[in-house]
């Protein structure tokens, strides 16, 4: 199995990760392996939107030159809950279907 080495991790970041690992009753290595798997499996918003665009009728749901579905345009100001990536992915899934 390949190895990953991360250098120059700030002390506060290392301490926070160590606390999270202990909270999950795992070593730091075990905790980070699980988190890296989750990160690798998670699709980005761009990947989700690209998938929606290739669906039949998908292109018609997007603004010309833009990437956001019309149903999402202007619903919430930037910085609000609607600006969180998970919220946008969820909304894209709802409107894709």
Grouped pLDDT means (10 residues each) for the chain, 97 residues: 93 98 97 95 88 70 51 47 50 51
- Residue 80 is predicted with a pLDDT of 44
Q: How far apart are CA 12 and CA 46, in angstroms?
A: 31
Task: Enumerate the domain spans of the chain.
Answer: 11-41, 45-96
What is the C-alpha to C-alpha distance for residues 22 and 71, in angstroms, rounded to an integer?
42
**Would you call 69 helix, strand, or coil by DSSP?**
strand
Residue 87 token pair: 């919220």
Distance CA 36, CA 89 (A): 20
Integer Cα distance of 26 and 50 in angstroms: 36
Predicted local confidence at residue 75, as pLDDT: 46
Identify the pLDDT of residue 7.
96
């Amino acid at each position: 199995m390949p190895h990953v080495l991360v250098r120059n991790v700030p002390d506060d970041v290392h301490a926070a990760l160590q606390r999270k690992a202990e909270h999950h009753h795992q070593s730091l290595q075990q905790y980070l392996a699980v988190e890296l798997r989750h990160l690798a499996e998670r699709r980005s918003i761009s990947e989700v939107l690209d998938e929606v665009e290739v669906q039949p009728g998908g292109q018609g749901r997007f603004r010309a030159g833009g990437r956001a579905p019309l149903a999402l345009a202007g619903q919430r100001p930037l910085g609000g809950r609607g600006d969180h990536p998970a919220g946008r992915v969820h909304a894209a899934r709802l409107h894709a279907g």
